[in-house]
Amino acid sequence: MAGYVSGKVAIVTGGGRGIGRAIALLMAKEGASVVVVDVGAALDGSGSDQGPAQEVVNEIKQAGGKAVASALSITEPQNAEAIVKSAIDTFGRVDILVNNAGILRDRIFHRMSWSDWHDVINVHLNGSFNMARAVAGHFREQESGAMVHMTSTSGLIGNFGQANYMAAKLGIHGLARGIALDMARYNVRSNCISPSAWSRMIGSIPTETDAEKQRVERLKQMTPDKIAPLAVYLCSDKADGISGQIIGVRNNEIFLYSQPRPLRVLHRSDGWTVEKLDAQLKNAFKQSFTPLERSGDVLNWDPV
């Protein structure tokens, strides 16, 4: 039986480790030729190493698949163009983009530096734009293509010490939806996955108390390979008609996320003053205010 993405060519950023690696391996298993992009940096974005991307390529080839590695940084537009060119030069076309690469620089906001902000935005948001823009012309010409971008419950809901990451991940939702709207006429789809998986990104959770240790053991069940099937499905022709959506994966659960829409409306025919707002707004809206919750407060049950 042919795989779900047989004959397609996929680019997977951050493909050397974690979720990206799992997606690259399953893409290849399901018949795609894969460009594995990974600079091999540390979690905070420092350093580089060509090893991780090449190791995944070797693993794909040993299993009989087709793959090529790239260690170029996606933060440079010309590098994104070069990555797409390598896909076309090697495999003849490009059909799938998975924007997965990312770094973390967690800091409480009043201690967050410009570089903490800029570097996280640069890899996640600018990198996702650069890669999407580099494939967009090819997708338009062939009137087909699928993109999957990684958002996060940190962006959709919230977390302490992650204003930079939250802004980047919510920005990625805006980018993904903008692409979905602009490119629907060319049969190009663009969706977000909000993944929950045990990887380097959440491997720094403290494990001092027994309760924390038990929680981490449960979280470790959420392996990166639980994310990969959704990514492959969304990039396959079988997902036709699904675009502009946010779909979450948490162990064996899959969520469809809501997107911002008006909840309540207040109207005055004579217009508003500060005094009238003071008299009405808080009481009218407070039952519908979104609480200052974090991801764990909303997804407050153990992974199943």
Active site residues: 165
- Per-residue tokens: 257: 């996320």
CA quadruple 103, 104, 109, 111: dihedral sign: negative
Structure token digits, residue 25: 């391996």
- Cα–Cα distances in Å, from 292 out to 94, 212, 278? 42, 23, 22
Q: Is the dihedral of CA 16, 3, 130, 83 positive or negative?
A: positive
Facing residues of 247 across strands?
Answer: 193, 256
Look up residue 73 and give its two tokens.
Answer: 């940084």
Backbone angle region of 158, left / alpha / beta, with phi > 0 → left and psi within -120 to 50 → alpha: left
